[in-house]
Structure 1
Amino acid sequence: MNYERVKEKLEILADAAKYDVSCSSSGGNRKNTNKGLGDSSASGICHTYTEDGRCVSLLKILLTNFCIYDCAYCVTRKSNDIQRAAFTVDEVVDLTINFYRRNYIEGLFLSSGIFKNADYTMERLVLVAKKLRLEHNFNGYIHLKSIPDASDELMREAGLYADRLSMNLEIPTESGLKLLAPDKNHQQMIKPMGFVKNEILVYKEEKKKFKSTPKFAPAGQSTQLIIGATQETDFQIIKVADHFYNDFNLKRVYYSGYVPISNDNRLPPLGSQVPLIRENRLYQADWLMRFYGFKADEILEKNNPFLDLEVDPKLGWALRNIDKFPVNLQFGSLEMILRVPGIGVKSAYKIINARRFQSLTLEHIKKMGVASNRAKYFITVANVNKSLQFLDSINLKNIILNETKSKFENPFSNQLTLLNDDSFLR
């Protein structure tokens, strides 16, 4: 092997893969029971995140950045004048094994530009996973990026060797995709996703009857939406995500703000990158749908199609529906307690359990992890000053924003981060 050439390829193809954020390694539980290499259970996967939340625990590369498509938003489009490279199957396998043995990585995220055709590319991605599993007895985490329009046979084989499969929808709407990638259509992407969904269900049912049934994509499938390359509203984006969660049983939808890479009158101008706060608000809205029981139509509506960048979507909903508050924590339903700003999922269940034995006070719920500085305006407990509960939504929003600002300005404030379950939607 020419190690200098492989190193050069690695620099090119790892850099090209950075635009794909759907590489989370969560959800895998493949056990190492045969003295093989690696383990994708919680103890085997190291979750490392960059400052803006992207997972960097995997060897994240493209098989090649050659591509037959000319998608305007993509850095690897065929008309872009960039340095091209392609790994062989054996080079990717050797890199994965050697990096794992050196404790650089805990798994592999493998995507690719499309060369020749969909099946030709997908076949090589599958072959990498197959060699790792069968020839090297690798039990670590493998995430394969599915290729649009790949055959059912290849998708089935991919699911037998990979822990997670993902198919990027890229642009949220068909009209937006047609504008920027006229050679593609969403049906090419949806068909393999539907096949994987059905196969996951089939293998789960088979597993109930026969213990020897192999796992099929045990960490499920995910997708990614590019935000801001076209003019979709947050409402449209959330509706698309909600549809795929409900109809395709996706594990995750990832949101990636478009990074301007070329002068093209179909695209936003250079230097107009989507603010990270918009990505963050979309992830928070996504969290509400997945864990808090919100419907997409509740978070936003057609005449209010963009998320408020000043406040998180949960607080935004509460301010628009202030007539539903205050919620009596001693007797209120779990559904409404979950909708109180400042109360996370874990804290909501603690409240439900604790109120059976005592009359709850503000001090009690603070100890349960509730952000009482925010929640106190939306709840009734034994010792809360009720005078603030009758403020109008505009004044209440300003009060909460001012309190939040003062906490950020205080370097000694114990401000919770967005990665904490109970603080994610405060």
Structure 2
Amino acid sequence: MELLEKVAILADAAKYDASCASSGSVKKDSRNSKGVGSTSEGMGICHSYTPDGRCVSLLKILMTNMCIYDCLYCVNRHSSNVPRARFTVAELVELTLEFYKRNYIEGLFLSSGIIRNPDYTMEQMVAVARTLRQEHQFKGYIHLKTIPDADERLLAQAGLYADRLSINIELPTGEGLARLAPEKNRQAIHQSMSVLKNHIDEGKENRKQVLQLGNSAKRSPAISQRRQGRLRPYAPAGQSTQMIIGADDASDLTILQNTDQLYRGLGMRRVYYSAFSPIPDASSFLPLQSPPLVREHRLYQADWLLRFYQFDVSELLDVSQDGMLDLNVDPKMAWALRHREYFPLDINRASKSQLLRVPGLGTRNVQRILSTRRHRRLRFSDLQQMRLPMEKLKPFIVAADYIPAHDALTSKQLYARFSEAGAGNQMALF
């Protein structure tokens, strides 16, 4: 099989992994069409973010879409009737380097189906990263999708060469995983995540020691030599995971409870949500239609509130909602409408945690408000100058020269005003 044909098959097969977002638009040549620019960068190219916040282009590809497992929700499952291809280690290394030299990419996102067994697959993936780092001195970003059932020693090696590691938790519940992917074990997945967490924590501690040694290196040649002998940070960008949404009957409450445990217990840097997409020759156990993409969007918004806005899962969902997020309004607005007693909030007196609960205020603007009010009381015009969404803010705040009308806090009126019409009618993802 020609290399370009392999790239076409295995780059397309990688699009279902939500850990990196690929463009779904058509590539256009700006030299031969009206307008300026191109909306995408071609097959296999996606965007991700480094630990320092830079957006980088990655070669997003599978080592192979052959797999010994038969997970019912996966298009690359063993029984699926799709074209198959496989890269060798040398081919993937060459492909990454050639793309990098041509400035198409700044790094590699590598996943794979299971070949022979988990250990063999993990060995091959580690070999790609090790060859790039050691033999070719590749300094770009590398994200490896690790295999949960692989030997712990192989998982330990992966983080020595990769910037980020990830293990897919697959489905929100163990029951769903046992029904749709009986060859996978939820306990084994959590165990592998714990192994990675321990190595990452140990790597952070080693880095602190390196910095401490660096401060005294000039005074001691022996310490300087010890510093040079330290290994690079272990997976400095941490680990992430992905959950498939809508393939089973798990509620949003169950999903977010799992997410909260992953963040608190396993130090996960990011949980990705992937709306189930119907696949060819689908099993009767799977739903006939994919869930509305807005559900995935609401879960990401709720995830953001858990991580950066000091919300708890119990605040985002209550019993009356049957464990599902409201698709018509974002979770923060939904919370505010359920808790009218907290509003309107005086922005000149409210604490940081209170300001973070106001619809329309993000973390950066909350910090700007706190900084400004150290010198003077904020007026309505000050908020306008900050380019805040005033229509969303007005019913929930009090400023030095502004108080909302009493009827502005009627929940039904606000719900109707901020409800996103047609929220459940998105186009299909692929």
State the identity %.
49
1:323 matched residue in structure 2: 341
Secondary structure in structure 2 of the residue aligned to 1:110: strand
1:289 positional shift: 0.7
Q: Which residue of 2 aligns with 1:37?
A: none
Q: 1:151 to 1:264 in 2, by over 3 A?
A: same
Q: What residue identity is the alignment partner of 1:279? A: E
Question: How far is 1:400 from its partner?
Answer: 3.4
Cα deviation, residue 276, structure 1: 1.8
Which residue does the alignment assign to 1:130?
130
Helix, strand or coil at the partner of 1:375: helix
CA contact (8 A) 2:64 2:85 kept: yes
Hey, what's the Cα distance between the residues in 2 that align with 1:161 and 1:181? Answer: 30
Indicate the SS of the match to 1:376.
helix
Match of 2:416 among 398, 404, 407: 398
| Contact residue 337 and residue 343 of structure 1 kept, 8 A | yes
Contact in 1 for aligned 2:68/2:77 (Cα 8 Å): yes
Q: What are the ranges of 5 or more consecutive residues in structure 2 without an aligned counterpart?
A: 21-46, 211-226, 422-430
* Corresponding residue of 1:26: 49
**Partner AA of 1:25 in structure 2:** S
Q: Distance in 2 between matches of 1:260 and 1:322?
A: 41
Write out aligned runs for 1:265-414 (5 A): 265-269=284-288, 272-304=289-321, 305-388=323-406, 391-401=409-419
Candidates 8, 11, 14, aligned match of 1:11: 8
Q: How does 1:4-403 map to 2 (within 5 A)?
A: 5-23=2-20, 25-28=48-51, 42=54, 45-46=55-56, 57-210=57-210, 211=227, 212-261=230-279, 262-269=281-288, 272-304=289-321, 305-388=323-406, 391-401=409-419
AA at the equivalent of 1:159: G
Aligned to 2:2, the other structure's residue is in SS state helix
Q: C-alpha displacement at 1:326, in angstroms? A: 1.1
SS of 2:110's partner is: strand
Runs of 4+, deviation exceeding 6 Å: none
Q: Is the CA contact (8 Å cut-off) linking 1:66 and 1:114 kept in structure 2? A: yes
Aligned partner of residue 274 in structure 2, secondary structure = strand
AA aligned opposite 2:182:
P
Distance 1:223 1:301 in 2: 26
Q: Residues of 2 paired with 1:218 and 1:293: CA distance?
A: 25
1:370, distance to aligned residue in structure 2 (A)? 2.2
Q: How big is the shift at 1:386?
A: 2.4
For residue 337 of structure 2, give the secondary structure of its aligned residue in structure 1. Answer: helix
1:289 and 1:389 map into 2 onto residues whose CA distance is 31
Instruction: List per-residue Cα deviations over 1:99-151 (Å, max 9, x = no partner).
Output: 11111111100000001111110010000000000111100000000102111
Paired AA for residue 67 in structure 2 = C
* In 1: Cα distance, 2:364 partner to 2:300 partner: 19
TM-score, length-normalised on structure 2? 0.84
Question: Which residue of structure 1 aligns with residue 23 of structure 2?
Answer: none
Task: Write the deviation string for residues 54-85 of structure 1: whole angstroms up to 9, x where unpaired.
Answer: xxx21111101111110000001001111111
2:50–2:141: 8 Å Cα contact kept in structure 1? no
Determine helix, strand or coil for the equivalent of 1:98: helix
Q: Is contact 2:397–2:403 with CA below 8 Å preserved after alignment?
A: no
Check the 8 A contact 1:160/1:214 in 2, yes or no: yes
Kept after mapping to 2: 8 A contact 1:167/1:193 = yes
Q: Aligned equivalents of 1:67 and 1:213: distance in 2?
A: 34
Q: Residues 17, 182 of structure 1: CA spacing in aligned structure 2 closer, same or farther, 3 A cutoff?
A: same
Deviation at 1:183, TM superposition (A): 1.2
1:210-260, Cα deviation, whole Å (9 max, x unpaired):
343421000000000000011111111111111101111111100100000
Displacement after TM superposition at 1:388 (Å) = 4.0
User: Distance in 2 between the 1:286 and 1:117 partners?
Assistant: 34
Per-residue deviation, residues 287-317 of structure 1 (Å, max 9, x unmatched): 1011111111111134421111111110001
CA distance in 1, matches of 2:71, 2:9: 19
1:26–1:219 CA contact under 8 A, matched in 2: no
1:191-212 per-position Cα deviation (integer Å, ceiling 9, x unaligned): 1110111111111112222343
Deviation at 1:185, TM superposition (A): 1.6
What TM-score, normalized by structure 1, do the two folds share? Answer: 0.85
**Number of matched residues?**
375
Alpha-carbon deviation of 1:390? 5.7
RMSD, aligned α-carbons: 1.6
Whether the 8 Å CA contact 1:72–1:180 is kept in 2: the answer is yes
Contact 1:325/1:378 (<8 A) preserved = yes
Supply the AA of the counterpart residue of 1:27.
Answer: T
